[in-house]
Amino acid sequence: MTSVAPLIGCRIHAHGEVSSTQTVLAALASEGAPEGTVVTARHQTGGRGRRGRRWWDAPGESLLLSILLRPPIPPARVPQLALVAGLAITDALEAGAGVKARIRWPNDVLVEGRKICGILSETMSVDAGRVGHVILGIGLNVNQTAFPGELEDRATSLRLVTGRAHEPDRLLSAVLEALDRRYRAWLAGGFACLRDEWRGRSRTTGERVRTPDGRFGVAVDVAEDGALLVDVGDGVTVRVVSGALGEELPEHAREVERDAARH
Ligand code: BTN
């Protein structure tokens, strides 16, 4: 059997404390770091989440990493990378910890309905209509036994769901291996070739959601290009593309659910 050298994780820069692994890797990328370069940290003082939020971590209890990608694609396809990463994380949780997880479109990874992993995709450069590089950030809750404030009833960790501590290095290997495999498959065949598996792990299909233009509907499927298809009634299906506005959608879905429960 022939084995191919891994692309993702070809170089790993492991840090103790940084402001954000995204920032550290952005600097390496601008110095010409190769595709697949990874930056990890035990703790971030300025961890970034989507939509300008902070990403909280307790030192040493999370897997915090950023991965440099240089895919030869137009910017419109970049949102698919977060879907690919979500699928890879579910693979890694099963292989590295025996935990079955679900994906909330576009890319939150949930276990027992609570968020265990967040994924941030930042396009750092575009040149002549092509992507220069993308930095994928992954924050996986590993050994936390409690979460502060508003996260308390929304987040979970591997330790909380399995009742035992986990070794971050073992999980890092599982994550890199899964990302390497899924990213190569995506480069070769696009999201279409991962779509059926993604659907099988989707938690969003069947949920009530609100589209970015304010209509309510039911998420019915994910398209070959990764867009969420929402049935808004009267035979109309709306395509929601992952990105700044599309990412609002699952939050709205929960608001709708909460409102429905109150009435
Ligand atoms: C989300 O909002 O769900 C995405 C969170 C992404 C957090 C990770 S942790 C490692 C990397 N560095 C950051 O500052 N953010 C990402």
Confidence class of residue 213 from pLDDT cuts 50, 70 and 90? confident
What's the pLDDT at 126? 80
Closest listed residue to residue 103, CA positions, set 78, 76, 77, 82: 82
Flag whether pLDDT at 92 surpasses 70. yes
How far apart (Å, rounded) are the C-alpha atoms in residues 142 and 257? 28
How far apart (Å, rounded) are the C-alpha atoms in residues 131 and 121? 13
Long-range contacts from 24-30, C-beta under 8 angstroms, 24+ separation: 24/66, 25/66, 25/67, 25/68, 25/135, 26/122, 26/124, 26/135, 28/68, 29/68, 29/124, 29/133, 29/135
Give nearest CA residue, ligand 1 atom 3. Answer: 118
Flag whether pLDDT at 245 surpasses 80. no
Ligand 1 atom showing the smallest separation from residue 119 Cα: 4
Ligand 1 atom showing the smallest separation from residue 51 Cα: 2
What's the pLDDT at 44? 98
Ligand 1 atom showing the smallest separation from residue 65 Cα: 10
Q: Which residue is associated with the tokens 């419109």?
A: 76
- Mean pLDDT across the stretch 191-201? 97
119 lines ligand 1 (CB under 6 A): yes
* Structural domains present in the chain: 11-200 (3.30.930.10), 208-262 (no CATH)
What's the pLDDT at 212? 85
What's the pLDDT at 35? 97
**Best of 12, 37, 64, 156 to mutate for ligand 1, by most ligand atoms within 8 A of CB?**
64
From residue 28, alpha-carbon distances to 48, 80, 93, 194 in Å are 18, 24, 28, 30
**In the beta sheet, which residues pair with residue 41?**
15, 64
The pLDDT tens digits of the residues spanning 137-175 come to 999 999 999 999 889 999 999 999 999 999 998 999 999
Flag whether pLDDT at 260 surpasses 50. no
For the whole model, what pTM was predicted?
0.90
Strands 228-233 and 236-240: antiparallel
246 lines ligand 1 (CB under 6 A): no
100 lines ligand 1 (CB under 6 A): no
250 lines ligand 1 (CB under 6 A): no
What's the pLDDT at 1? 55
C-alpha of 193 from chain center: 18
What's the pLDDT at 214? 87
The pLDDT tens digits of the residues spanning 29-63 come to 999 999 999 999 999 999 999 988 999 999 999 99
66 lines ligand 1 (CB under 6 A): yes
**Best of 120, 135, 144 to mutate for ligand 1, by most ligand atoms within 8 A of CB?**
120
Flag whether pLDDT at 257 surpasses 90. no
Q: CB of 102 within 8 A of CB of 109?
A: yes
In the chain, the largest separation of any two C-alpha atoms, in whole Å, equals 60
Give nearest CA residue, ligand 1 atom 2. Answer: 49
What's the pLDDT at 251? 40
- Mean pLDDT across the stretch 172-194? 97
261 CA to centre of ligand 1 in angstroms: 31
